[in-house]
Amino acid sequence: MINRDDQVTTKLLMLIIDFERHLEVFAFCVFIAVLIDRLSIINTYLEQYIFNKKNKTFLNVITRPKDMMSMQKNYVYINYTPQNIKITLLAKAYAVIGETNELINKVFQFHIFKSLTSTFIYIIIIIWTSIYYLRISNNTEFLIRIILFCIFEIMSIGIMSYVCESILLKRNSIKILVNELIMDYDLNSPALRIEAKAFTDVIQVWPLHIFVYDMFSIDIKLIVKFISVSTTYLIIIVQLSHFF
């Protein structure tokens, strides 16, 4: 029999380990959220540029104004030089974001793998022990706590998957806007379309996917697969529990 002090020590140790694991997931989500904010800025610039072009309200400044503070703030000064270097700058900014995303992936891929495997193992062990003690004691009061614990653990994976899916959606939105610049032959010059094509190549080089040791991608499909695998093992555990 395990005395009360051992139970408290075990729960405290599990709490510390569990907190450290969720803290790593939280830190990863914060870094990805920062990248999403930067992608939103690029997306906003492109949307304003396309909107001003279509509505012919775009201010084409040949030389950079000396006093930018005196100009109206509602203008987007993309064409202040004939080379349309704003699109090039946006492409460079996206490339920096892609490099940062790759570094984050390299730093956190072990932590993500550890979080996925430990969460799966915790859920399987808890379900196994819960079924075992339920058959012995016939006490259903602790089932609510077990269900809440499993939901909390799955939510941690779900939040991580949602954040990674959000950065992919933002990347696809930028790709659509850049493709719109390429296909608009009436309003955009050939030089700008060439720069937009170069921007498309940069987007292809940096797809902003988060992989765990090249085994699986972290996106919204991951949580579906995780629940599916957990449910499969749950059925196996329920079937095997009749032999014990």
Whether residue 94 lies inside any domain: the answer is yes
pLDDT score for 100: 95
Which is nearest to 105 in space by CA: 50, 31, 54? 31
Helix (H, G, I), strand (E, B) or coil at 216: strand
Question: What's the total number of domains in the chain?
Answer: 1
The predicted structure's pLDDT at residue 99: 94
Spatial distance between the Cα atoms of 142 and 162, rounded to a whole number of angstroms: 30
Closest CA to 167 of 73, 28, 6, 23: 28
Instruction: Judge whether residue 209 has pLDDT over 70.
Output: yes
Q: What residues pair up with 216 in beta bridges, in sequence order?
A: 212
| pLDDT range class, residue 146, cuts 50, 70, 90 | confident
Please say if the pLDDT value at position 125 is more than 70.
Answer: yes
Summarize the confidence of residues 113-129 as an average pLDDT. 82
- Could you tell me which residues come within 8 angstroms of residue 123 by beta carbon, excluding any fewer than 6 positions away? 150, 153, 154, 230
Does the structure show a pLDDT above 70 at 81? no
Q: Is residue 175 part of a domain?
A: yes
For the whole model, what pTM was predicted? 0.74
Mean pLDDT of the chain: 78
CA distance 244 to 240: 7
- Pair 182, 197: CB distance under 8 Å: yes
Higher pLDDT, 2 or 31: 31
**Minimum mean pLDDT range among 63-67, 154-158, 200-204:** 63-67
Q: Is residue 76 part of a domain?
A: no
Confidence of residue 98 (pLDDT cuts 50, 70, 90): very high
pLDDT at 187: 65
Q: Does 61 map to a domain?
A: no
Q: What residue numbers bound the domain in which 19 lies?
A: 4-56+86-243
Region 95-122: what's the mean pLDDT?
89
Mean pLDDT of 4-21: 60
Residue 71 lies in a domain: no
The token duo for 25 is 């997931």
Residue 79 covered by a domain: no
Over residues 167-174, the mean pLDDT reads: 94
The yes-or-no verdict on residue 184 having pLDDT over 60 is: yes
- Per the DSSP assignment, residues forming a β-bridge with 211 are 217
Q: Region 188-213: what's the mean pLDDT?
A: 87
| 169 pLDDT more than 60 | yes
Side-chain half-sphere CA neighbours of 129 within 13 A: 7
CA distance 208 to 42: 15
Within a domain: 78: no
Per-residue pLDDT at 182 exceeds 70: yes
